[in-house]
Structure 1
Amino acid sequence: MHNAYITILAQLGLVGAIMLALILLFVLRQMIIAYRHNLLPKDIIAATVSVLLIFLFSNVTQSRFTILDFQFLAVLTLAVGYTSRYVKKEKPG
């Protein structure tokens, strides 16, 4: 199949599709929080959101979940999004 979302729905069902959506929404939410509270540098936030958007749009026309390079990039992006919740800003002085 060419559409990754239909492939996930067919292989993993509604539960798998909901889990994927929750993971992607979690990363987006973490990037918004990191941006608002200035937890990460702006370029890291921009890069993470850019990769997330590329991930979302490229999977409409092609299924990239099985490509190893893309899996690495997706895991790296998810890791940045996840670890941003543990970054604490130091107080000056």
Structure 2
Amino acid sequence: MPIFLIRRFTYSIEILLWLALGMNSLEKHTQLTPVEKEILRYIKDGFSSIQIAQLRNCSVRTIEKHRSNIISKLNIPSSQNALLIWVFKHPKLFNT
């Protein structure tokens, strides 16, 4: 089996387990900085890293680092869509 299929399968299982077990990272949401919370709101609204960087007048690399920190703090699987899934699983955090 090609290695990319194994990685994709592993990430899929990791996300499914995370969703099925209801890994509750809501309490960890308070550990996020105000900038990280703002970036989560942009992600929820469908903005890409490039668009967020333009809105915040910073580099794309800075936004990617913030995303990485968010993923780490919330203990989210590091796959492409896991952060977006988390945002939509916790809509009450973004009601202002």
Bigger CA radius of gyration: 1
Q: TM-score, normalised by structure 2?
A: 0.33
**Relative contact order, higher structure (CA 8 A, sep 6+):** 1
- Identify, as 1 or 2, the structure richer in helix: 1
